Amino acid sequence: MKKHFELSEDRSFASREEVRSLQDRLLAEQIRYCRTESPFYRGRLAGFPDREYDFDSLRELPTTSKQDLAEHNEEFFAVPVTGIADICFTSGTTGTPCRIVYTAADLDRLAYNDACGYRAAGMLPGEKVLLTCTIDRCFIAGLAYYQGVVKLGAAAIRNGLNTLDSHAEVIRTLRPENIVGVPSFLAKLGQYLADNGIDGSCVRRLVCIGEPARNRNMEPTPLGAKLDGFWPGAVHSTYASSEIVTSFTECSARCGGHPPADLAVVEILDDAGNRVPDGEVGEVTVTPLQVTGMPLVRFRTGDVSFIIPEPCPCGRGTLRLGPILGRKAQMLKVRGTTLFPNAFFNVLDGIPGVVEYYMEVRGTALSDEITICVACRDGASPEDLGVQEKLYGRTRIHVPVVAVDPAAARQKVFGVSRKPVRFFDLRKY
């Protein structure tokens, strides 16, 4: 396995066939590594033929779930304790948090991964990047964003989880061309700059993490549209997770994220675990390549999306992953309809006067009972803003809407995790 990853090795612009053949070679190598070095896969793959697996035959191997990772956590470690360079915890928004370990080579791989993503978004060496996320708190993504900036040859401004005022001051004085952050926070920052007459026109790219900025039709969500209003043409959505140690970043076409050519094999699976054709929606399942600390085979992320089948106008031979439509575990069943919380959240993001919101779900195995909790600006009520009617207009579902205090709502949404949490699952089945 490799120890160093150089940006000059990025093969993203090779043809689709060349990318596939590169991935097949690395996939065979990764599966062999798992069979010999990972205690979990020594057992899990014992009954399967010892052969050179490629993209086609990969489907014969079993998938790996978050449950596997939680129940057999240490068995996934493929190096002795002395070979570990960094230990993280998954965010634990669903299920049991577990440890993810990285070797020094994995950290270099991550730096390469993020630098490839920045490059896809059009970022250039010599530019400045304002990082509005934390790089500590056992959070791998923030560290990866930082290391990617360094690997690319740009300059990081690690202002982290700081106040709007502090970020505005950085923008005013240092004039960064790029910002990395959570879309809902970046929208607040854009509003703050506008309200205070601060010129944010230096910012040419927003690398958006953790929340989708586009919908199933690749149109901007209300949140994405808000960002487009403040920074036209700047939004680049990304998708990544601590387990898959690979990110998908939108290129200049801003229509689906590319993974680096040599870092991951991606499948979209249906509920029965079968691959769906490109373009169809299913669970994003990833086999990360060239990982040494905690390699995974066919890891089911729990996130639902689709592959965009058409070749990308940017010329990359790597696939494009659409926006994450929701988490499989958060799928809602309401009177015979299935939908994701984002269907409601996208409407709420587009209502001026709604300052914060979250959803509580209760119910039985047959039907979910949804309550939308909304905090409004300046003493207005959800009825004044027509929240219930607007939700019905888009989802055709009547849901109870209750008013909540803005400060309490913010505490509830931002108080439990590193990411905003707006979905509270109180279902008992």
Residue 107 binding Zn ion, by CB under 5 A: no
Among 130, 312, 339, 401, binds Zn ion (CB under 5 A): 312
Q: How many residues bind Zn ion (CB under 5 A)?
A: 5
Q: What secondary structure does DSSP assign to 62-92, as a single string?
A: PPB-HHHHHHTGGGG--S-GGG--EEEE---
Counting DSSP H helices and E strands in the chain, the numbers are 12, 21
Candidates 5-13, 99-107, 304-312, 337-345: pick the segment binding Zn ion (CB under 5 A): 304-312
Cα gap 388→83, rounded to integer Å: 55
Task: Name the residue type at position 140.
Answer: I
* Spatial contact of 89 and 97, defined as CB atoms under 8 Å apart: yes
Cα gap 182→184, rounded to integer Å: 6
Residue 251 binding Zn ion, by CB under 5 A: yes
Among 87, 168, 253, 397, binds Zn ion (CB under 5 A): 253
Q: Minimum distance between the CB of residue 125 and Zn ion, rounded to whole angstroms?
A: 20
Q: Which of residues 354-383 bind Zn ion (CB under 5 A)?
A: none
Nearer to Zn ion (CB atom), residue 187 or residue 251: 251
Residue 314 binding Zn ion, by CB under 5 A: yes
Q: Residue written as tokens 């993810």?
A: 100
Residue 209 binding Zn ion, by CB under 5 A: no
Candidates 156-164, 179-187, 315-323, 351-359: pick the segment binding Zn ion (CB under 5 A): 315-323
* Spatial contact of 156 and 129, defined as CB atoms under 8 Å apart: yes
Nearer to Zn ion (CB atom), residue 208 or residue 312: 312
Nearer to Zn ion (CB atom), residue 139 or residue 306: 306
Torsion of CA 397, 398, 402, 407, to 10 degrees: 20
Q: Minimum distance between the CB of residue 153 and Zn ion, rounded to whole angstroms?
A: 22
Nearer to Zn ion (CB atom), residue 148 or residue 420: 148
Q: Name the β-bridge partners of 402.
A: 373
Q: Minimum distance between the CB of residue 312 and Zn ion, rounded to whole angstroms?
A: 3
Q: Record the tokens describing residue 181, joined without a space.
A: 């952050």
Nearer to Zn ion (CB atom), residue 24 or residue 250: 250
CB atoms within 10 A of CB 13: 13
Q: Minimum distance between the CB of residue 121 and Zn ion, rounded to whole angstroms?
A: 10
Binding site for Zn ion (CB under 5 A): 251, 253, 312, 314, 316
